[in-house]
Structure 1
Amino acid sequence: MNFLRKPFRNSQYNVVLILIGLNILVFLGEKVFYNPRAMDITDYLAMNPVLVVHGYLWQFATYMFVHDPFSYSHIIFNMLALFIFGTQVERYMGSTEFLLYYMLTGVLAGVFSFIVYWFTGSYRVFLMGASGAIFAVQLAYAVLFPRNILYLWGILPLRAPVMVLGFTALEIFFMVTGLGGNVAHFTHLAGFAFGWLYFLVRFGINPWRAMRR
């Protein structure tokens, strides 16, 4: 347990900006090298259960850097959320800790999604997007800054835990009712859950108690 909680040196090297830059570069690559007749960047990097079984294990990590090449809103909203929440969380945690938190929660959310897809027979799906890890980052923001005020739609003031838990409740609602469209809500919730476990195991912090401060 002491090993799991051994802190990193608090270094700051703007890992959020690096992650955003990588996401943008991959998105541009998807646009430039799009090929409807053969496997392209999106196919190699997005997470597909059949390809994972055939050895494409890197997709557990790379799916986080892939976004719908036909939708600018997908990457814009994800990167905006990563910037808004991630920069302050990184500043508090330190860049190395933040990078571990982001990648580990995202990869575990990808593994969980693979299990769900495989055992439900969803073999043709290609999971893409940083939302699983970003949900974990939003949780971290609410835990570390429970008194911060955020403005929903730029108008309605809400404390960070209220907004983050509200978004999570909506994800549960959409997943249960199926009203959320073609969105992997369980991936988002998995990112949130693994972020919760990270705080318990790595920091010894109960997120619920921290958000109620």
Structure 2
Amino acid sequence: MVWSGSGQESEQDRIQALMSDADVRRLVGRSHSAASESHARMLRRIARLPGWVPFEAKRTAAAFADQWYRKSAGARCVYTLVGLNAVVFGMWRIPRLLPLMARSFLHDPRSGLSYTLLTSSFSQREVGHLVFNMFALVSFGTSVADAMGAEHFLAFYLSAGVASSLASHLLAPLRPALILPSLGASGAVYSVIAATAMLFPDAQVALIFLPFMPFTVSQAFKALMAYDLVGAVLGWRAFGHIAHFSGGLFGVAYFTWCTGAWSELVRGIAAARLRAQRPPAAPRRAIE
């Protein structure tokens, strides 16, 4: 048996071959390195764009690719979520799309639609709402995504968005006057803050308007939850307090009882794939 090297070495060989391409060298130079094979392939795609694309535009695209692929997988996941929220926000600004957005990116408990439990969690209509939620998502989500892994974090984030929307849906009839269409990523973001408090309880945070009074993230999370509990009980309408509070509870509950479920799911999928890759056993022949 001849050992052909590890998978990591074979990937490095492929990266080197891609970076040795004449067009890539002309674009980024001979000494430029790539963080991964997908990074190298993207640089080659940019280098081979049609000739009418200005060279400086290609260089700018290559610089953006370098910044993107040198980030961790968790950070790329978080920034992708930010991008999706920004796209949906932009769609709200197109008058022709308003009927579609009102139907598909608002969750109205009286509409009978269930998919809006998810789509509404990517929807913000005001600039301040979008900026605050995305700032919090980047600030807290990157570390959590790196600790959990990008796929696990994405599943957690999407589940948190649905769970917080569902809680708001189920509890809305308790106050019929408050049955209004809802939207926003705040419930999912609260789950991310809860995850930060569970994973990094002693991490320091500071409020923008109180920069000289740092708190631990666990203290800040408890204060937020107390505020939203009071808001939910008293029926304040300034924010979606039920969605906020339930999002935070989902994050705490998940990291208290459910983190092992993801590992079991991953192991089950890996075992199923392994079984699917095995060749079928040869049929047994009867002994004559």
Structure 1 window deviating more from structure 2 (74-83 vs 194-203): it is 194-203
Q: Which of 203, 210, 213 lines up with 1:156 in the alignment?
A: 213
Which residue is 1:207 aligned to? none
Aligned partners of 2:237, 2:227: CA distance in 1, in Å? 13
Unpaired segments ≥5 residues, structure 1: 1-10, 205-213
* C-alpha contact 2:73 2:146 (8 A) present in aligned 1: yes
Q: Does the C-alpha gap of structure 1 residues 190 and 124 become closer, same or farther in structure 2, counting only changes over 3 Å? A: closer
Q: Which of 142, 150, 155 lines up with 1:95 in the alignment?
A: 150
Which residue is 1:111 aligned to? 166
* C-alpha contact 2:229 2:241 (8 A) present in aligned 1: yes
Q: Does 1:176 align with 2:233?
A: yes
Q: Which of 99, 103, 127 lines up with 1:72 in the alignment?
A: 127
Q: How does 1:25-40 map to 2 (within 5 A)?
A: 25-33=87-95, 39-40=99-100
**Deviation at 1:173?**
2.1
In structure 2, what residue type is equivalent to 1:139?
A
Aligned partners of 2:226, 2:254: CA distance in 1, in Å? 20
Aligned partners of 1:123, 1:40: CA distance in 2, in Å? 23
Q: Does the C-alpha gap of structure 1 residues 106 and 91 become closer, same or farther in structure 2, counting only changes over 3 Å? A: same
Bigger RCO (CA 8 Å, 6+ sep): 1
* C-alpha contact 1:66 1:129 (8 A) present in aligned 2: yes
Which residue is 2:104 aligned to? 44
**Deviation at 1:123?**
8.2
Q: Does the C-alpha gap of structure 1 residues 166 and 119 become closer, same or farther in structure 2, counting only changes over 3 Å? A: closer
The share of aligned pairs that are identical, in percent, is 28
* C-alpha contact 2:105 2:123 (8 A) present in aligned 1: yes
Which residue is 1:82 aligned to? 137
Aligned partners of 2:175, 2:232: CA distance in 1, in Å? 15
Q: Which of 178, 187, 192 lines up with 1:132 in the alignment?
A: 187
The structure in which a higher percent of residues are helix is: 2
SS where residue 206 of structure 2 aligns? strand
Aligned partners of 1:182, 1:43: CA distance in 2, in Å? 23
Q: Which of 83, 95, 117 lines up with 1:21 in the alignment?
A: 83
Q: Deviations over 1:116-149 (max 9, x none)?
A: 2245435861110000010000011111111211
* C-alpha contact 1:149 1:160 (8 A) present in aligned 2: yes
SS where residue 176 of structure 1 aligns? helix
* C-alpha contact 1:34 1:41 (8 A) present in aligned 2: no
In structure 2, what residue type is equivalent to 1:40?
L
Aligned partners of 1:196, 1:171: CA distance in 2, in Å? 15
SS where residue 176 of structure 2 aligns? coil
* C-alpha contact 1:109 1:187 (8 A) present in aligned 2: yes
* C-alpha contact 2:91 2:97 (8 A) present in aligned 1: no
SS where residue 150 of structure 1 aligns? strand
CA RMSD of aligned residues (A): 2.0
What's the TM-score, normalizing by structure 1? Answer: 0.80
Which residue is 2:246 aligned to? 190
* C-alpha contact 1:33 1:41 (8 A) present in aligned 2: no
* C-alpha contact 1:43 1:126 (8 A) present in aligned 2: no
Aligned partners of 1:72, 1:163: CA distance in 2, in Å? 24
